[in-house]
Amino acid sequence: QVQLVESGGGLVQTGGSLRLSCVASGSILGINDAHWYRQAPGKQRELVASISSSGMTDYADSVKGRFTISRDNAKITVYLQMTNLKPEDTAVYYCKADINHDYVLHYIYWGQGTQVTVSS
């Protein structure tokens, strides 16, 4: 059974930093594209950052210069380093990944989410 498990969320003050991790487990070959989304209370889920299988990255305007997405293929893990956090970054953060089951089959998976709370 394939799972994506996020960790690293928590409570931090304005200006602080957190690093989120998203680990894929199960009988898999690896991760293709991966993304971090977030959803604040009463708001729609929004795309925060993306990383391709080749390492190309893209960010929402609201987090450019503050967040960095990266990956460790050997550990089948995707990270989101968040710095200079603001109260408006408060949300549940979700990892979404296109995972290779073998050299042919691949599916999209979501993690369960990790809460990030930034106090003012």
What confidence tens digit (pLDDT) does each residue in 48-100 have?
999 999 999 999 999 999 999 999 999 999 999 999 999 999 999 999 999 98
Residue 1 pLDDT exceeds 90: no
Residue 40 pLDDT exceeds 90: yes
Specify the pLDDT at position 102: 85
Decide if 31 contacts 42 (C-beta within 8 A).
no
Calculate mean pLDDT across residues 97-116: 93
Q: Is 51 exposed, middle or buried (0-12, 13-18, 19+ CB in 10 A)?
A: buried
